[in-house]
Amino acid sequence: MASFPSADRLALLTNFGHSIGSVAYVYRPTHAEQIAELYRSAAGTGFTVGMRGAGRSYGDASLNGGHVALDLQRMNRILDWNPGTGVIRVEPGVTIGQLWAYTLEDGWWPPVVPGTMFPTLGGCLAMNIHGKNNYVAGPIGEHVAQFTALLPTGEEVACSPTQNADLFHSLIGGLGVLGVFTSITLQLKHIYSGNLKGYAWASPNLRQMMDEMESLKADSDYLVGWVDGTWGGSGLGRGQVHRAHYFAPGEDPSPAQSLRVEAQVLPDTFFGLVPKSILWQFMRFFMNTPGAWLTNTAKYVHARTLDHRHHFLQSLVAFNFLLDYVPNWEKSYGRGGLIQYQSFIPRAAAAEAFADLLKLTQRRGLPTYLGVLKRHRPDKFLLSHAVDGFSLAMDFKVTGGNRPALQRLTDDMSRIVLDAGGRFYFAKDSTLTREVVAESLGPDTLARFCAMKARCDPQSLLQTELYRRVFGSI
Amino acid sequence: MNFSSPLTPTPVAIVVGASSGIGEAVARKLAHEGYAVALVARRADRLRALCAELNARPGAAHAVAYPHDVTHFDEIPALFQTILRDLGRLNVMVYASGIMLPSGFSEYNFGKDRATLEVNVLGAMAWLGQAATYFEQAGEGHLVGISSVAGDRGRVSNPAYHTSKAALSTYLESLRNRLTRKGVHVLTVKPGYVDTDLLKAVARPFWVVSPEQAAADIWRAMRRGKQQIYTLSRWGLVMWVVRHMPSFIFRRLRF
């Protein structure tokens, strides 16, 4: 019998930001039976199995160094599509990009999408991702009608909000350590145009941006704030609010045209001249603190000058997948890559806590080069990152020398977040300790998650580096 | 606090031949520098004692003992995987196992010759090959082989030992030429006389250094990305002369 794991499957896997990586034995199944076979091979060997989709998590969520990584990207078939009801059944390796391209012409759009279209739906469910409409649409899990999952016990379970509801609310957001999704049934959103009505305007500081988002949230389909993390004083957290509305039925005079996939494709040049595929190479020169100050300031001045309080048309893809606008943008951070730190803080405490975070990063000489503010609402999933409040996501450049300082900074930031009653999001995390996670989740949630882990995976076969870091081997 | 975070992961080393001599000293040095160390050697009792000692230091990353005889070649792939599984990653691989069996000037003993080659060469190939496969994927890492000044020329004293060290030096050079382009650093260490068990077989040693001194030199060379070091460094000069000595003189010498 061939040895397990097979040595020729060693491969380096990295995070989205290319700042963290490890070498694992990578298996790429095409069918659920192969996963069951792998579970059997791994059982009792001491090797754990970690799930990986497109590797778009910012931290170590899809890494499993020295162990087995199960890359699900080849399980990418669309199993069933009903253009009448907008219900689609897919395998876990289907990406967000694959999904919308398949359903758009029929007038359906994924109700919740992240800032990039490359993640797989298996990964999206395991992290219970959110979009710029979290305060109204909730996380993606709320749009899952049903899924089937293969537990490490060998049991195949079908779950929906009413059937096996406890498993449903645990596996979604369960970091892929309770079981693997084998099929996912999603209810898509009916749309009447391939465009959104977009609005964008400058906001002079963080507090005002939050007030504006708060007052507009009842009347906006999407809301997101870009935050300049390099500016201090009375302009702390200045930036730009982006708001968008879907078109109502009949509002778009020619929906058939805007609903074509070709109408959604991001332009491949800037100003019709500079090929975007090489743009990241030029962005490298600005990925330092003076460069970030310059670009952030230029962007803010631009936002102040071109005030788009009146709507303009923007394609669904252009609005939602900002991160895909510049291909390989993450490489512009250089060899050290980047990490993101996103915290979620209840509304009453958010303005003060985020101001403290921004000031701390500036004081330490490690300002964020990109800050993003979003509005959220709570949900019913077991490991939930959402609160009735705001989140601030901050990108930090990682260099050969700043890693310890960055760790100390984020440790101190986590203290501020915990004191404000905040939470964290595991798809973005690469710095939290077990103690911080335990405190933010609370003993009750932690105990329920441990109980669910023991039930679904009594041998603790499914693990990732993230799981071992924040939960330990239960 | 000794928290290994993704941003500041604890580096990991495997030291084969860690129960005594240079291997033991290198293992101590690496542990002292904050490495988690997998200690591999045949003598389980000495290995466990070293392991306990390293783990007793406050704030130390941990050491783990893996008793193993390097001539049990079939065990090596699985043991390598076990270490990787336990420690999660690998940054430094040191092969320090080596034997020098005393040999008379007219002795031709195939049993001894084979044992020497098995430990000094085949074991090294088996272990370094595993690590090379890993480092090639990782795109980084340090491979360190403890060869010897003895490998620079075939001298009269101990043909098998000289052959084994020449083979190891050449093997390391090949690995270096393969792996430098993959981002992997390969260091060939050529000690002179070091105060270890091997020295018992030497009649009149001179310029003897402690294993700790050798380990410190190896650590420095590793950090600086050197391809090869002699320890003591003056051996470099001596061996240059020895390497260039014409055969008609060299074959008349008795060292």
Which domain, by its residues, includes B244? Answer: 12-250
- What does the DSSP 8-state code read for residue A203? E
Chain B residue numbers touching A430 (CB-CB < 8 A): 5-7
Residue B20 lies in a domain: yes
Amino acid identity at A88: I
Q: What is the pLDDT of residue A447?
A: 96
Judge: A66–B8 Cβ closer than 8 Å, yes or no: no
Reported in sequence order, the residue ranges of chain B that DSSP labels E, i.e. its strands, are 12-16, 36-41, 63-67, 92-95, 142-146, 185-191, 228-231
Residue B219 lies in a domain: yes
How far B7 CA lies from chain A's nearest CA (Å)? Answer: 6
Instruction: Give strand pairing partners of A222.
Output: A244
Residue-wise pLDDT for A282-292, tens only, equals 888 888 989 99
Say how many C-beta atoms besides its own lie within 10 A of residue A205's C-beta: 20
Q: What is the mean pLDDT of chain A?
A: 95
Chain B residue numbers touching A433 (CB-CB < 8 A): 3, 5
Residue B69 lies in a domain: yes
Amino acid identity at B155: R
Residue B6 lies in a domain: no
Distance CA B97, CA A251 (A): 78
Say how many C-beta atoms besides its own lie within 10 A of residue B198's C-beta: 20
CATH dotted code for A78-190 = 3.30.465.10
Residue-wise pLDDT for B220-238, tens only, equals 999 999 999 999 999 999 9
Q: What are A202's two structure tokens? A: 């400058």
Q: How would you classify the pairing of strands A180-187 and A189-190?
A: unpaired
Is B74 an 8 Å CB contact of chain A? Answer: no
Distance CA B28, CA B51 (A): 10
Architecture, CATH, for domain A195-434: 2-Layer Sandwich (3.30)
- The CATH number assigned to the domain holding B189 equals 3.40.50.720
Q: Which of A6, A23, A25, A338 to mutate to test the interface with B (most CBs of B within 10 A)?
A: A23
Return the H-helix or E-strand segment holding A168.
Answer: helix A165-171
Is B233 an 8 Å CB contact of chain A? Answer: no
Residue ranges of chain A assigned to CATH 3.30.70.2520: 195-434
Chain A residue numbers touching B134 (CB-CB < 8 A): 10, 23
How far A178 CA lies from chain B's nearest CA (Å)? Answer: 20
A67 vs B6, B8, B85: nearest CB: B85
| pLDDT tens over chain B, length 255 residues | 345 899 999 999 999 999 999 999 999 999 999 999 999 999 999 999 999 999 998 776 689 999 999 999 999 999 999 999 999 999 999 999 999 999 888 999 999 999 999 999 999 999 999 999 999 999 999 999 999 999 999 999 899 999 999 999 999 999 999 999 999 999 999 999 999 988 888 888 999 999 999 999 999 999 999 999 999 999 999 999 999 999 999 999 887
pLDDT bucket at A474, cuts 50 / 70 / 90: very low
**B6, B82 Cβ separation under 8 angstroms:** no
Is B246 an 8 Å CB contact of chain A? Answer: no
Q: What is the pLDDT of residue A473?
A: 54
Distance CA A155, CA A321 (A): 37
Residue B173 lies in a domain: yes
Judge: A46–B87 Cβ closer than 8 Å, yes or no: no
In total, how many domains does chain B have?
Answer: 1
Residues 383-412 of A with CB under 8 A from B: 398, 403-404, 406-407
**What is the per-residue DSSP string for A314-335?**
EEHHHHH-GGGSSTTGGGGG-T
Distance CA A129, CA A99 (A): 15
| Average pLDDT score over residue span A168-182 | 98
Looking at the domain A7-72+452-470, which fold is it? 3.30.43
A10 vs B3, B88, B134: nearest CB: B134
| Average pLDDT score over residue span A295-304 | 91
Q: SS3 breakdown of chain B: % helix, strand, coil, rounded to 5?
A: 50, 15, 35
Judge: A407–B5 Cβ closer than 8 Å, yes or no: yes
Residue B2 lies in a domain: no
Residue B7 lies in a domain: no
Is B183 an 8 Å CB contact of chain A? Answer: no
How far A469 CA lies from chain B's nearest CA (Å)? Answer: 8
End-to-end CA distance of chain B: 53
Residue ranges of chain A assigned to CATH 3.30.43.10: 7-72+452-470
How far A89 CA lies from chain B's nearest CA (Å)? Answer: 35
- ipTM for the assembly: 0.93
Amino acid identity at A384: S
Is B129 an 8 Å CB contact of chain A? Answer: no
Residue B4 lies in a domain: no
Return the H-helix or E-strand segment holding A240.
Answer: strand A239-245
**What is the per-residue DSSP string for chain B?**
-----SSSPPPEEEEETTTSHHHHHHHHHHHHTT-EEEEEES-HHHHHHHHHHHHHSTTPPPEEEEE--TT-GGGHHHHHHHHHHHHS--SEEEE---------TT---HHHHHHHHIIIIIHHHHHHHHHHHHHHHHT--EEEEE--GGGGS--SS-HHHHHHHHHHHHHHHHHHHHHGGGT-EEEEEEESSBSSGGGGG-SS--S-B-HHHHHHHHHHHHHHT-SEEEESTHHHHHHHHHHHS-HHHHTT---
Q: How would you classify the pairing of strands B185-191 and B63-67?
A: unpaired
